[in-house]
Chains A and B, each alone.
Chain A
Amino acid sequence: MSNQLTATPPPRKAWRVPSYWPFVIPALIVVAGIIVFPWLFTIWMSMHEWKVGAPTTFVGLANYIRLPTDPRFVEAVGHTITYTLLSVILPVIFGTFAAVIFHQKFPFRGFLRGLFIMPMMATPVAVALVWTMMFHPQLGVLNYILSLFGLPAELWVFHPGSVIPSLVMVETWQWTPLVMLIVLGGLSAIPSEPYESARIDGANAWQMFRYITLPLITPFIFVASMIRMIDAVKSFDIIFAITQGGPGSASETINLYLYSVAFVYYDIGYGSAIAVVFFVLIVVLAAIMLYMRQRLHWNQTGGAA
Chain B
Amino acid sequence: MFKNTLSRRTLLQGTMAAGAMSAGGLGLAPLPALADPQWKKYAGTKLEVLLAKGPRGDNFQKNIKEFTDLTGIVVESEQVPEQQQRQKAVIELASGKPSFDVIHLSYHVQKRQFEKGGWLADLSGFMKDPNLTASDLTESDFSAAGLKYAKDDKGRLLSLPWSVDYFILYYNKEMFEKKNIAVPKTFEEMAAAAEKLTDPAAGTFGFVGRGLRNANMTLWTNFFLNYGGEFLDAKGEILTDGPEAVEATKLYQKLLTKYAPPGVSGFNWMESMASFSQGRSAMWLDGVGWAPPLEDPTASRIVGKVGYAVVPAGPKGQYSATYGDGIGIAAASKNKEAAFLLCQWAVSKKQGARLLQAGGGVPFRNSILNDQEVRSGVKLPKEWVQSVIDSAKISKLGLPVVVPVAEFRDLVGAGVTATLSGGDPAAELKTAHEQFRPILERSEKS
Contacts and interface: CB of A to CB of B under 8 A. Distances in A.
Interface of A: 49, 51-55, 70-72, 136-138, 153, 155-161, 243-249, 260, 263-266
B414 interface: yes
Given A53-B113, A138-B263, A243-B266, A248 B446 contact: no
B263 A248 contact: no
A156 B421 CA distance: 13
Nearest to A55: B446
B265 A264 contact: no
A72 B262 contact: no
Contacts of B116: 53-54
Interface in B393-413: 404, 406-407, 410-411
B420 A265 contact: no
22 contacts: A51-B446, A52-B91, A52-B94, A53-B116, A53-B119, A54-B117, A54-B446, A72-B435, A136-B263, A137-B263, A138-B262, A138-B275, A138-B280, A155-B262, A158-B262, A159-B421, A246-B213, A246-B265, A247-B266, A248-B414, A264-B406, A265-B406
A181 to B, nearest CB: 34
Contacts of A161: 421
Interface residues of B, number: 36
Contacts of B352: none
Contacts of A249: 213, 410, 414
B113 A265 contact: no
B117 A248 contact: no
Interface string B250-264: 000000000001111
Contact of A53 (B117, B275, B420): B117
B229 interface: no
B445 to A, nearest CB: 10
Contacts of B407: 265
The residue in B213, B406, B407 that gathers the most chain A C-beta atoms within 10 A of its C-beta is B213
B298 interface: no
A71 B435 contact: yes
Given A52-B90, A53-B119, A71-B435, 14 more contacts: A51-B446, A53-B113, A53-B116, A54-B116, A155-B262, A158-B265, A245-B213, A246-B213, A247-B211, A248-B213, A248-B421, A249-B410, A249-B414, A260-B406
Nearest to A56: B446
B212 interface: yes
Contacts of B90: 52-53, 266
A199 to B, nearest CB: 53
A55 B94 CA distance: 10
Interface in B117-135: 117, 119
Contacts of A138: 203, 261-263, 275, 280
A160 B414 CA distance: 11
A248 B423 CA distance: 11
| Among B94, B113, B262, B415: residue with most chain A CB under 10 A | B262
B93 interface: yes
Q: Is the interface of B mostly helix, strand, loop or mixed?
A: helix
A51 to B, nearest CB: 7
B112 to A, nearest CB: 11
Interface in B200-216: 203, 211-213
A155 B415 CA distance: 19
Contacts of B212: 244, 246-247
B276 to A, nearest CB: 13
Nearest to B264: A158
A245 B404 CA distance: 19
A78 to B, nearest CB: 15
Given A53-B113, A265-B406, A247 B93 contact: no
Given A53-B113, A247-B212, A160 B266 contact: no
Contacts of A72: 411, 435
Contacts of B262: 137-138, 153, 155, 158
A70 B411 CA distance: 12
B141 to A, nearest CB: 31
Q: What are the 5 closest A-B residue pairs judged by CB atoms, nearest first?
A: A158-B263, A137-B263, A53-B117, A247-B265, A137-B262
Contacts of B94: 52-53
Nearest to B415: A248
B87 interface: yes
A160 B410 CA distance: 16
Nearest to A143: B262
Nearest to A136: B263
Given A53-B90, A138-B280, A249-B414, A160 B421 contact: yes
B277 to A, nearest CB: 13
Interface in B358-383: none
A159 B406 contact: no
Contacts of B417: 246-248
Contacts of B421: 159-161, 247-248
A159 B93 contact: no
A248 to B, nearest CB: 4
B238 interface: no
A42 B117 CA distance: 24
Interface string B190-232: 0000000000000100000001110000000000000000000
A140 B77 CA distance: 40
B421 to A, nearest CB: 5
B43 to A, nearest CB: 34
B418 interface: yes
Given A158-B266, A246-B265, A49 B446 contact: yes
Contacts of A159: 265, 421
Contacts of B265: 158-159, 246-248
Given A158-B263, A246-B266, A53 B418 contact: no
A71 B404 CA distance: 18
Contact of B404 (A136, A243, A265): A265
Contacts of B87: 263
B71 to A, nearest CB: 32
A54 B421 CA distance: 38
Residue with the greatest number of chain A CB neighbours at <10 A, chosen from B87, B117, B263, B431 = B263
B201 to A, nearest CB: 13
A136 B278 CA distance: 15
